[in-house]
Structure 1
Amino acid sequence: MWFTEAAVGVDPGASAKVVAFDEPAEGDYIQVRPTGSRDVLSFSPAELTTVKPAPKPKPAPRPAAAPQFAPPSGEVVVGIEGGAEPPKRQPSPSRSRKQQPVEITVTLHSTPEGEWTVDVLVGKKRTVRWVPVPAGEVGRLAKHLPSEVGEAIGVALEAAKERQELRVTQLKAELEAAQRALRDLG
């Protein structure tokens, strides 16, 4: 399936996989998963088509604009691995060619069980696909994000912490019962 111009919130011509159909009386009743997403969204038949759209014409090249962020001339920034030390700068292999800025999308996902994953898109290429992230790392990251984001993450982390504390209490009770039964056996 592909999205038509009538679809709201998605790019026209983007593809999707049909997941389910609901009753037409309930409004938007075709549930689809857009390509590259884990979300399931509902659309009406007018917003979807089975006809593959023609490829979009490539835009004419624009003159190179100065990037919004550019490391000092001849250097590129290498990311932090594990957060142990500050970024290192290394000489760029090609000083004459400037790289155009690329849109990067980082998505954090939390399950109701408190497990976190991260997904990264660089341009249109997925470079990291739902890799597990320790909740403690997410908590440390939340302190550096806007307060609204940090609060939302904090709520999820606190709920996960409460579930783990309850589980520890239950496991302690089971352990004590097993130890009593062992003592009774001599």
Structure 2
Amino acid sequence: MSSPSTKSASRRTAPPVLSEDELARIAGELAEGKPPMVWFTAAAVGVAEGKSGKVVALGNPADGDFLQVRPTGSKDVLSFGPSEVTLTKPARGTTVAAGGSARTRPASVPEPSNRKDTTVTQPSTLPSAAPTSPAPRSLAPVPEETAAKPAPAASRPAKTTAARKTKAPEVTVTLTGTADGEWTVDVVNGKKRSVKGMAVSSAAVAQAAKILHPEVAEVVDGVLEAVRGAQQAKVAQLQAELEAAKKLLAELGD
């Protein structure tokens, strides 16, 4: 098995077998819950040329080995680059080179049986600090139900966290009127009472009600009319009392 550094160097020189259209096709089939079948090329490390497998997920193309493939007959999921697999099934007795061209495999050369070790064993006594060495190429086995789930398309943009909106403080304005025609206003800004029991004139209340809404104006006009009627009755009563007092004074003489 080649070391990670040797494999990285070979991948830089090997052209990708999968085109952008084929990668988009793989992403679409994964989104439909249908893991596509691929075949390993000569550039694949640890897997025999021409061996088949299924793509179960796509990672970030910037990582290089972003295709997560489960080889046929294995429960392990391994990471491969676009030059290590192809969607074209090779004919019997031929293998697919890294450049995508078919070549005849000599009959006397047996298929390599080595596979990449996919089990990463970590002792429980190791500290939880992040390792300084690069992450291993192989992945832990993926359960069947997890692998069957469709993976997001490679072209899907990453989710971004929306900026938190600043909540504006609530303002409550309360207008209070009495039967005597006295009006007061209270203002609460958020949890703080900014204005308490401020006296306002009936004329100002009527003008504000007309500006706000016809229904508000109708209610306020009804209250003002009731107050006006009460005050008129009070004036009439006072005038009657005044006339009676004047008459009594006249009878008493100067």
- TM-score interval, smaller chain: 0.3 to 0.5
Q: TM-score, normalised by structure 2?
A: 0.34
* Structure number with higher relative contact order (C-alpha < 8 Å, ≥ 6 residues apart): 2
Greater gyration radius: 2
